[in-house]
Structure 1
Amino acid sequence: MTQADSWSDREFSYGKADFDAARSLLYQLTGIRLADSKDSMVYSRLARRVRALKLTGFTQYLGYLNQHPAEEELFINALTTNLTSFFREPHHFDVLKEYLITHPQTRTIWCAASSTGEEPYSIAMVVAETFGRFDGPVKIIASDIDSQVLQKAQAGIYQLDRIKTLSAERCKQFFFKGKGAQAGLVKVVPELQKMIDFRQLNLLKPQWSVKGPIDVIFCRNVMIYFDRPTQLQILARMVQLLPADGLYIAGHSENFGHASHLVKPAGRTTYYPNLAAR
């Protein structure tokens, strides 16, 4: 079956022009560039919005988007991908602990892609463990472009199997286990939640609600969704927020060898700001 044939079998009329228009708008709004292979994903996720709004198809939906700016947030939410877990890429949290020990003056950590909260809560656990208390000197800012995942992050409620890789000690210290109607769920303890300031933030916007200095920036597996000019633009802005001994932590699939004028390697997918860029 050809791609055109598969499109014609769908509930709503959907062609290459619709896909191109949708990904062009997403790029315009967020800087995220979708590959040609994402055509089915765009259809399945936006079809829910077409259905919810009782529209006839994608052409009408794209017109609706132009006339209703409030729909842009739901459009972005539908097309952004949020894959995360507690202590994902665990070596980064070892790096964070070492940094906190050697930089006791650390005051602010920014998690620039909070998703549903597993990453900033992992950061908060390390901070609490390192300082031996919840009310330590470090403020954690967690941002994401997707307002829906931020709501989940702020609630701090997860399926029990989401914490199965954590030690028994961490599970006991940082989570309440649900009972009765809440069986099978866990909730982050309020002391850990209070350590994090959740904010909606679009990295492509000219104004950020996050101000420097930021001692550590976690921006992991985000840049892969941007083209190189956008990567460099965002990285340059982030580096300006870091002090000379600040730390930028990237994702496992990200490499900034092409940005040596902005950052210099500090270890495995971790970087220091390049002072020559100042």
Structure 2
Amino acid sequence: MAVKDKAREFEYTLDDFNFLRKLSNQHSGIQVPDDKFDMFYSRLSKRVRLLGFSRFKEYCSYLQDHPDQEFTEFINAVTTNLTSFFREKHHFEYVTQKLLPELLKKNQAQKQIRVWSAGCSTGEEPYSLAISLIENVPSDWDIKILATDLDTNVLSAAAEGVYPVDRIASISEAHLHNWFQKGSGAHAHKVRVKPQLRDIIYFKQLNLMQEWPMKGYFDFIFCRNVLIYFDRTTKERLANRYAGLLREGSCLFIGHSESLHQLDTPFSLIGNTIYKKTRV
């Protein structure tokens, strides 16, 4: 079924959209509603143009016939990556004021803290976590943050740790001075996170729908604005998989528009989309 729109550079139909969103869902589990029709066109037009096609139908065929060459580009293009430093500030306040004092007592023997930032996008979240931990944990402790995302492009940007100055507008002067290096010359309008932050973060590509290589426990997990893209069954399955990597009493942080309400999980809400594992 063709959708008539003379303003479009490429022919794009509802059949094309249905094929592409089904493929995205099969790979990532993300639900794509009808109102994302135009978003798919705008995000994939660059790929269609680059490959020299005039119709999305040709791109769909190419994607089907050449998954090794194109599938990662496709997923990267349609994945949403909106984030900022210290987004949902109350979560970081809970970490520094409540969680870390408890962990410093509980983990005193091994002197280590392990955190997972699932769906880390371009890195603002794990770097914010790194700042929060380094500033509040003794220097002789071993801190490691695993930061994962499905999108390899945003992971590359995250690992580089370079941002336009407008991305750090909400950061305090003290944090800017302590944790960011200002660029000069051609990079005058950019900043880079200092090596001390990058050194404790491990950026890895991970599809949440597939097998997870992690075996040990995390002290807490951030998975914010990720569950919103999944259906109820997938949300429940993911939450229970997160629970399997947390000890009883550990916390899972999710996004402000997300909830585990009426899902069968071992988590209990303690406020502000912070959940605690209260049963095994």
The TM-score, its normalising length taken from structure 1, stands at: 0.94
Aligned-partner residue type, residue 28 of structure 1: Q
Pick which of 252-261 and 192-201 moved more. Answer: 252-261
Residues 68, 113 of structure 1: alpha-carbon distance in 2 compared, 3 angstrom cutoff: same
Contact 1:261-1:274 at 8 Å conserved across structures: no
Partner of 1:123, secondary structure, is helix
Q: Which of 255, 261, 266 does residue 259 from structure 2 map onto? A: 255
For structure 1, the residue ranges without an aligned partner over 5 or more in a row are: none
Pick which of 17-26 and 56-65 moved more. Answer: 56-65
Counterpart of 2:145 in structure 1 is 140
**Are 1:229 and 2:233 counterparts?**
yes
What is the deviation of 1:239?
A: 0.7
Contact 1:143-1:200 at 8 Å conserved across structures: yes
Counterpart of 1:43 in structure 2 is 41
Counterpart of 2:86 in structure 1 is 87
What is the deviation of 1:201?
A: 0.4
What is the deviation of 1:261?
A: 3.5
Aligned pair count reads: 271
Q: Which of 99, 115, 123 does residue 117 from structure 1 map onto? A: 123
Counterpart of 1:127 in structure 2 is 133
Counterpart of 2:23 in structure 1 is 25
Counterpart of 2:172 in structure 1 is 167
Contact 1:128-1:136 at 8 Å conserved across structures: no
Contact 2:150-2:205 at 8 Å conserved across structures: yes
Distance 2:86 2:214 in 1: 24
Q: Cα RMSD between the aligned structures?
A: 1.4
What is the deviation of 1:260?
A: 4.8
Aligned-partner residue type, residue 33 of structure 2: A
Q: What percentage of residue pairs aligned between the two structures are identical?
A: 43
Structure (1 or 2) with the greater strand fraction: 2
C-alpha deviations, 1:77-128, integer Å up to 9, x for none? 0000000000000000011112011111262100001100000000000001
Alignment map for 1:175-190 (pairs within 5 Å):
175-190=180-195
Q: Which of 217, 223, 230 does residue 213 from structure 1 map onto? A: 217
**Are 1:243 and 2:241 counterparts?**
no
Aligned-partner residue type, residue 99 of structure 1: L
Partner of 2:262, secondary structure, is helix
Counterpart of 1:199 in structure 2 is 204
Distance 1:263 1:254 in 2: 14
